[in-house]
Amino acid sequence: MSRLLAAFMLAVVAQSIPAQEFKDFGKDRLNSSPRHGEWVDIKSGDRTIKAFVVYPERKDKAPALLVIQEIFGLTDWLRSMCDELAENGVIAIAPDFLNGQKFEDADGARKAISAVTQDQIKTVLDATADYALKIPSCNGALAVCGFCRGGGWAFMYANMNPKLKAAYSFYGAPPDASEQVANISCPVYGFYGENDERVNAGIPKAEELMKAASKKYEPVIYKGAGHGFMRSGEPHNPNVREGDKKARDEAWTRWKKLLNQL
């Protein structure tokens, strides 16, 4: 077979394989929400960080929750999650780690998010946390949550910020070394899908580390769910998966109770 023919055949095969895509959604909730949401600029040294904030409708001050994105960027879905969190009584604030970039192509998203360093993660979250605690309607309580890659970052940030009252890690990689949990001062609540052994395989080691360090870690594995079930189980997702929808409902029931404890 000639090199030219071989190259042609490879090109044909590549074109026949659909790219892994994740369509964004969530604008309907944002456009119909009675709650106030806005973009804000957060100064961090010479850098300006964009963040999206949604405020709850309540007559008293509220806790603030840092919301860490998935690999796809600060999407409409993530902003709609902020609105859903505000509906449940917290000030939800999501910083943009990718400077306005959003992806529907999984490979491009992974490449961009993998370039974010641990120091950058801490810098962005520290600046956002300081901003959140200075919001006049914040009651001084601060927590963090994250999804997918952001779920791992949320667990990691619990080890970096002693001001946190709680961390909620959704199907993110748990820690695997004692120094990654030594400074955690808040409870960590894990939300995982049953059909996600890639992530779940690390849970026993994290439980062992947290127990040895006398830290509170409560992982729950939701039956019939896959990775990313908070997104793929969203009723407005055009590709909603029924097993993930059930897990999402169960996770929300648990999460609402935990948020009320802040």
55 domain-assigned: yes
Instruction: Assign residue 89 the CATH number of its domain.
Output: 3.40.50.1820
- How many domains in the chain? 1
15 domain-assigned: no
Q: With CA atoms as reference, report the closest residue to 70 among 31, 51, 98, 50.
A: 98
2 domain-assigned: no
Cα–Cα distances in Å, from 138 out to 23, 30, 72?
A: 34, 22, 28
13 domain-assigned: no
142 domain-assigned: yes
Question: Given the structure tokens 């306005």, which residue do they identify?
Answer: 100
8 domain-assigned: no
> Coil, strand, or helix at residue 44?
strand
172 domain-assigned: yes
**Model pTM score:** 0.91
Look up the domain containing 78 and give its range: 20-259
Q: Which residues, in sequence order, are CB contacts of 55 under 8 Å at separation 6+?
A: 35, 36, 37, 62, 86, 91, 137
**Averaged pLDDT, groups of 10, the chain, 262 residues long:** 39 34 87 97 94 98 98 95 98 95 87 94 98 98 98 98 98 98 98 98 98 98 97 90 95 98 96
- pLDDT at site 61: 98
109 domain-assigned: yes
Backbone CA torsion sign across 210, 211, 215, 216 = positive
- pLDDT at site 21: 58
Please give the order of strands across the beta sheet that includes 164-170. Answer: 37-44, 47-54, 91-95, 62-68, 138-147, 164-170, 188-195, 217-226
